[in-house]
Amino acid sequence: MIIIKKNMKSKKSNDDFFKKVLKIVGKIPKGKVTTYGEIAQAIGLKSSARMVGWALNSAAGDDSLPCHRVINRNGELTGKRHFRTPELMRELLENEGIEFLGDKVNIKKHLWRPK
């Protein structure tokens, strides 16, 4: 019985974390990007960047969220494999005016930090 309660609490905690992540992602302005780490820090769990990725995976197929605006700390499109085609993430960003330096987003110009 205790184990079940513990697992239920953990699931609720993950659900809350995922909801917070998706709420922040929904606020990323057009023409801006943020990183998994920036989102984790905004939630108050600085070392949970990988969990942010899991939360985004849970929203796969939800075209109402601008998940394409979340990149890694180096400006790389590490989430591109989760889009219909590997090129789609970059195309969506370029259509919003995001500038690339080679294969990486120009973070200095386009980074948005959630509050």
Specify the pLDDT at position 12.
Answer: 60
Residue 67 known to be catalytic: yes
pTM of structure: 0.86
- 58-110 pLDDT, tens digit each: 887 788 999 999 999 999 999 998 899 989 999 999 999 999 999 999 999 99
Q: Is 56 exposed, middle or buried (0-12, 13-18, 19+ CB in 10 A)?
A: buried
Residues 6+ apart with CB under 8 A from 31: 96, 97, 98, 110
Q: How far apart are CA 35 and CA 69, in angstroms?
A: 8
Residue 53 in any domain: the answer is yes
Residue 14 in any domain: the answer is yes
Among 21, 28, 67, 105, the one annotated catalytic: 67
C-alpha dihedral sign at 17, 85, 26, 69: positive
- Structural domain range at position 21: 2-110
- 22-65 pLDDT, tens digit each: 999 999 999 999 999 999 999 999 899 999 999 999 887 788 99
What CATH number does the domain containing 67 carry? 1.10.10.10
Residue 63 in any domain: the answer is yes
Residue 115 in any domain: the answer is no
What angle (nearest 5°) sits at the alpha carbon of residue 61, between those of residues 82 and 108?
A: 55
Number of domains in the chain: 1
Residue 28 in any domain: the answer is yes
